[in-house]
Each structure stands twice: as structure tokens, then as C-alpha cells.
Chains A and B, each alone.
Chain A
Amino acid sequence: MNETIRKKQTIRRIKIWTSVVIVALIYIWAFSGMPKMEFKPSAVQAIKAIFSGLIHPDWDYFYDPEGEDLLRTLLETLCIAILGTFISSILCVPFAFWAARNMNKYRFISSSGKFVLSVIRVFPELILALLFIAAVGTGPFAGILALGFHSIGMLGKLFGESIEDMDFSSSEALKSCGANKIQTLWFAIVPQVMPSFVSFTLYRFELSVRAATILGIVGAGGIGAPLIFALQGHKWDRVGMILIGIIVMVTIIDYISSTIRKRIV
């Protein structure tokens, strides 16, 4: 008895020490290859310029009756996020059923679905946007498609998990009372998964708004393009204005969306 306990303890100790050594090795590798962090005098200037831009933003850019302005591009960004999320919330449903363990007879079917979803998930939006630009040209539509496709990965995974957690007693009760397939789907399954589905979609929408702000860097619409132009042209007051715009928009969206999510769940 004593022997086995001691054995277990040594195994545990070995495990802990090996993991410590592995982590230490990773850190040694990482930090040994790091380039030196050096502050040039230009760095201080740049920081000063960025902060002065944030404090004195270019208010003329906020609204310009003709041509591009902050308000219009921010709205475009929002539209990209809304439509992208909408597309993915519809397209993710079949994927979710494919990946849910309790919806498929064989394990390998659901595992393959999970694998496909994780591949979609790791595909960066920016690369997707580049691919879609090749198809539909530059502009917000490419951004919408990129976001719509990318979000399938996350929404499908979360939604599939909530299908797996579903309680089947109510649908069985309905079936035993003689309800047909559509009725059980409508009255037992949909009410159960709907709240989490809406909540996940809203959560994804919050992330999509953030993602949409950078899509413009590759030319897929939204606020990213004017931002990158302002950065390259060192127009710090405009950069400050755009940053403030992004921060305010994201904060408002987050607040609204999390309030709705709290009420749903």
C-alpha cells in the first residue's frame, strides 16, 4: 500500500518536473531569438504624435457631406459585420448538426464535421478576404463574404455543442403524443436551442465588428482602409479620430449586445 502511494508520488513529481523543464526550454528558445528592443529617438516622437493625435482628433473628418468620412465608413463597417454574421448564422446550422455527436449514428461523421469546423476557424479572415476579393473585386461585399465564411467555424462549433447538450425528454414526450417530425422540431427542439443560438450569434457579432474594422487593410471595405492610409501618411490627428470612432462604436455595440445576451440567458 505504502509502495503504491510512493510510486504515485514519484510519477507525479516526474510529471511536474518534466513540464517545468519543457516550459523553461520553450522560454529559453523564445527569448534567445528575440531581437533587441531599442527605442530610437524617432520612437518617442511617434508616441508623442500618436497621443497628440488622440487628444486633438481631426473633427473635420467626422462628418463630410461629400466624400468619405468617419461616420459613413463606420456605418459600412457595421453593415459588413451585420451581414457577415447573418450569413454565417444561417450557414452554420447544417455544419452544427453535422458536428453534433448525438445527431449522427457514427462517431467518425461528427468527428469529421468537427475537423472541418476547426479548419474553417483557423483560416484567418484577412486571407479569406483576399480570396474573395479575387472573386468579387475590392469592396465591402468581399469583406461580408470573408466574415460570413470565417464565422461559420466558431458558430458551428458552439451551436453543435449546444445541440449535444440538448435534453431529449420533451421531444420524446411530444413524439409519444403523436406529434410529427416538424412539430417536434418546432415545439421541442427549437425553443430549447434558440436562446443559446441567439446568444452565440450576438457574441460572434461583437467579434465580427472588431474583425470588420481591419478588413479594409486588404481592401475589403470598412474603416480599415482610411486608417491605414492615415497611418502611412502620418496624419496622426486623423488616426486619432478614427481610433476614437472605432473604440466608441465597439464599446456601444458590446454594451447593447451583452445587455441583450444577459436578458436572453
Chain B
Amino acid sequence: MDALKKRRLSLMKRLVTLIFIIVILWASSLGTEVSISSLMDGLPGMGSLFLEMLPPDWSYFSYVTEPMLETIRMAVIGTTYGAIVAIPFALLSSRNVVKWPVIYFPFRFVMNLIRTIPELLLAALFVPVLGIGDNAGIMALSVFSFGVIAKLAYESIEAIDNGPLEAMTAVGANKIQWIFYGVVPQVIASFVSYTLYCFEINVRAAAILGYVGAGGIGLYLNNTLKLFQYQRVSTIIIYTLIVVVIIDMISNKCREKLI
């Protein structure tokens, strides 16, 4: 009897969840005026757009190589800045390094706040401050990677083995020694791995930052799109895809070796 009741209850729960999801989906499709018919009408237009993109303008490759390198450069520098700033923040926001919640809660709060803003919005904010160009992109990527790396790093600091730390405290190490010889050796591999991971994300992000004027290849993408030079657009897209796939591959190999 009891089992039957339980089963009925769980069935009810599932039903309620299902209805809830359907209502949400229905409401949001009403709110955004989804129409399958407009998709069907638009598909030929999309097809012709694809045809216009073919064949890619191969001669454009050499022309966009310089902005492509600039994009990678932005990602490298941005990730590095972010990673450097992330180190003290990660230490200060982990529970086992700083014992007082008064300190680690505000740091975590700041990090959470930063992570809610997408990098393109950060770039759009930095463009009026630093002017159009690479610098705005670099700063946007730095702030963004700072948020990501600091969060992942403090989580891995909190997960470290307590044994060596206690041993060091027992033999009278001060806080700096404690961090250098107890914490750092345990987290350095995962920290580098997170930095590489963030670098992968940043390369992708850097490729579109130019759209809001923050340097890199996105600027060329924007210009060619505005001038309806779709063959060049496809060149840029293909180039970006190739670079991103290669960087992902190298970075993945490195990360596998690290851990």
C-alpha cells in the first residue's frame, strides 16, 4: 500500500514537472513569435546565401592572416593577464587558505559578478574607455578569463589534500611558505590546465570581439558582411574554424599531458 502511494506520488511529480516545462515552452514561443512557417519560407533564402558564399575567396586568406595573428595575440595576452590577476584572488577566496568568511565571501561575490557578463558585453564596455582597437579586446578577455580561472582555481585549491598543509603548520612554516610549498605544488598542474582551457575559449571569443570594435578578425567580418562580400565572409569563417580547431587540438594534448 505504501509502495503504491509512493509510486503515485513520484508519478504525480513527474507529471507536474512535465506540465510545467510544456507551459514554459509554450509561453516563450508565444513571447518570441516563433513560427515554423517563416522558417520554411526563409530556408531557400538561407540556401541561396550559402551558395553566394561559395566558393570562398581564396586570395583573401593572405590578406586576413595579419588580423588572424592579431586575434591570437589578443587571446594570449588577455589570458595571461587574467591568469596572473586570478592567482591572488583564487587564494584569497578559498576556504582552506583564508579561514575567515569576512574575506573570502566578498572575493567570491566579486568573481561571481564578473562571470555573469559575457565577454562581448565587456568588450562593448571597454571600447568607449580604451578606444577602438586591440586594447579594448585584451582588457575584455583579461577580465573574462580572470573570472573563469579564479573560480576554477579556488575550487581546486579547496579540494587539495590537507595532510602536507597540516605537516607544514606542525613544523612551524609561516603563511607564505605554507602557500608556496603546501598549496602551489598541489594545484599548479590544474591551474595551467584551466588557463589553457580559458585560452581556447578566448581564441573563439576574440574572433568575434571585433564586431563591437575591439580588434581582431571580427572587424573584417563585420566589414565584409556589411558590403555583402559573402565569399570573403566564408573565407574568414573557414580560417577561424581552422585556427580554432588547431589550437583546441594542441591545447587538449597539453592538458592531457598535464593531468
A116-131 interface (Cβ within 8 A of B)? 118-119, 122-124, 126-127, 130-131
Alpha-carbon distance A83/B21, docked complex (angstroms): 11
B38 touches A231 (CB 8 A): no
Alpha-carbon distance A218/B130, docked complex (angstroms): 22
Give the contacting residue for A130; candidates B25, B116, B128, B225; CB below 8 A: B225
Q: Is A145 an interface residue (CB 8 A)?
A: yes
Residue of B nearest to A124 (CB): B208
B46 touches A37 (CB 8 A): no
CB distance from B78 to the nearest CB of A (A): 10
- Assuming the A-B contacts A118-B245, A135-B39, A217-B211, are A144 and B118 also in contact, with contact meaning beta carbons closer than 8 angstroms in the complex? no
Interface residues on A, range: 35 or more
B129 touches A29 (CB 8 A): no
A-chain residues with CB within 8 Å of residue B125 when the two chains form the complex: 50, 231, 239
Mark contacts of B23-41 with chain A using CB atoms, 8 A cut-off: 1 yes-contact digit, 0 otherwise: 0110111011111001101
Q: Is A247 an interface residue (CB 8 A)?
A: yes
CB distance from B68 to the nearest CB of A (A): 13
Q: Is A228 an interface residue (CB 8 A)?
A: yes
CB distance from A181 to the nearest CB of B (A): 23
Alpha-carbon distance A33/B130, docked complex (angstroms): 18
A210 touches B116 (CB 8 A): yes
Residue of B nearest to A254 (CB): B116
Residue of A nearest to B25 (CB): A86
Mark contacts of A203-240 with chain B using CB atoms, 8 A cut-off: 1 yes-contact digit, 0 otherwise: 00000001101100110010000011001001000010
B-chain residues with CB within 8 Å of residue A37 when the two chains form the complex: 130, 135
Q: Is A1 an interface residue (CB 8 A)?
A: no
CB distance from B101 to the nearest CB of A (A): 19
Question: Which of B69-77, B85-93, B152-160, B167-175 binds A?
Answer: B69-77
Residue of A nearest to B76 (CB): A30
Residue of B nearest to A119 (CB): B241
Q: Determine which residue in A34, A139, A239 has the highest number of CB atoms from chain B within 10 A of its CB, and name it.
A: A34
Give the contacting residue for A141; candidates B32, B43, B46; CB below 8 A: B32
CB distance from B113 to the nearest CB of A (A): 6
Alpha-carbon distance A34/B130, docked complex (angstroms): 14
Give the contacting residue for A118; candidates B129, B130, B248; CB below 8 A: B248
Alpha-carbon distance A39/B221, docked complex (angstroms): 28
Q: Could you list 28 A-B pairs, sorted by A, with CB under 8 Å?
A: A27-B76, A27-B80, A31-B77, A34-B134, A37-B130, A43-B131, A46-B128, A47-B129, A75-B31, A78-B28, A79-B28, A79-B29, A82-B25, A118-B245, A122-B204, A122-B244, A126-B120, A126-B208, A137-B38, A140-B33, A141-B35, A144-B34, A214-B118, A218-B211, A231-B128, A246-B117, A246-B121, A247-B113
Residues of chain B whose beta carbon lies under 8 Å from any beta carbon of chain A: 24-25, 27-29, 31-35, 38-39, 41-43, 45-46, 49, 69-70, 72-73, 76-77, 80, 112-113, 116-118, 120-121, 124-125, 127-131, 133-135, 138, 204, 207-208, 211-212, 221, 225, 237, 240-241, 244-245, 248
Which 3 pairs show the lowest CB-CB distances between chains A and B?
A79-B28, A135-B42, A135-B46
